[in-house]
Amino acid sequence: MRSFSIVFLSAAAVVQSATVYLAGDSTMAATGANDGWGKYLPNFISLPVVNKAMGGRSARSYTREGRFTEIAGLIKSGDYVVIEFGHNDGGSLSTDNGRSDCNPVNNDYSTTCTTTYNGVKETVLTYEKYIANAAKTFKAKGANVIIASQTPNNLWESGTFGYTPGRFVGYAKDAAAEAGVTFADHGIYVASLYKGKGKDVVNSYYPNDHTHTSPAGAETVARAFVLSVDATDNTLKNFITHRK
């Protein structure tokens, strides 16, 4: 009689095979010489990270270009997807740059707008709808989705510290609620770390403008993301290797 050996994998070993996918803009991206925070996330967690963030993108343009769809084709059940946009989502559709979202009317996120971009007529959704729709797609495939609030610009730029969450922070929180996924308030944790580090250190994080960070700044923002996840009940917190 042929003998069979059965190998039992622990739950931890199975989960350990999960991958973290990142969807966002240049503040997260690691393409070319850009030092977005996603480039440094592997320094803080034990799971592999696939950074699909792209500079200059908004929730709308990321959707239109099929980048959410690309991630949906890559993920497997148990993977994590982190979505963070906001820096490129503002502006007016009257001078459409292909990135601006439709503003909700009376807080109605189902509001749509019509525009013509690059000669093509386009129905534009709200930020919340773009993000919630993507999150629902990933969730349906068994992924564990985290919608993060956008990172702030240099909070010491004026010479004194100040942080007021922008409207896209609230939109991100509402998108997470609609999709039934985790909301991580990344922005407020960046603000907390920046306040503690002081003006001179934080100003050094922004060598070119008030949005894009140096490597040291990006690593600080990555740490802030880990701290924001640690404050939730999301299981990604189980893979944090250190918090400092």
The residue from 17, 46, 204, 209 that is catalytic is: 209
Check if 26 is active-site. Answer: yes
User: Which residue out of 26, 100, 149, 228 is catalytically annotated?
Assistant: 26
In the block, tokens 């967690």 appear at: 45
pLDDT score, position 32: 67
> Residues in the chain with pLDDT < 50?
1-15
- In degrees rounded to 5, what are phi and psi of residue 42? -60, -15
Q: List C-alpha distances in Å: 114 to 24, 94, 98, 142, 241.
A: 24, 10, 12, 33, 46
- Integer-rounded Cα radius of gyration of the chain: 19
Residue 25 a catalytic site member: no
One of 58, 174, 212, 228 is an active-site residue; which one? Answer: 212
Distance between CA atoms of residues 68 and 60, nearest Å: 10
Q: Which of 103, 239, 220 is nearest to 171 (CA)?
A: 103
Tokens of 34: 């850009």
In sequence order, what are the beta bridge partners of 83?
A: 23, 147
Q: Are 102 and 109 in contact (CB under 8 A)?
A: no
Confidence (pTM)? 0.92
Superfamily of domain 16-93+127-237: SGNH hydrolase (3.40.50.1110)
Domain residue limits, the chain: 16-93+127-237
pLDDT tens-digit profile of 206-234? 999 999 999 999 999 999 999 999 999 99
Task: Report residue 89 CA to chain centroid gap.
Answer: 13
Active site residue 96: no
Q: Can you give the pLDDT at residue 26?
A: 96
pLDDT at 8: 42
- Tell me if 183 sits within 8 A of 177, measured CB to CB: yes
CB-count exposure of residue 42 (10 Å: 0-12, 13-18, 19+): middle
Taking a C-beta distance cutoff of 8 angstroms, is the pair 71, 42 a contact?
no
pLDDT at 2: 47
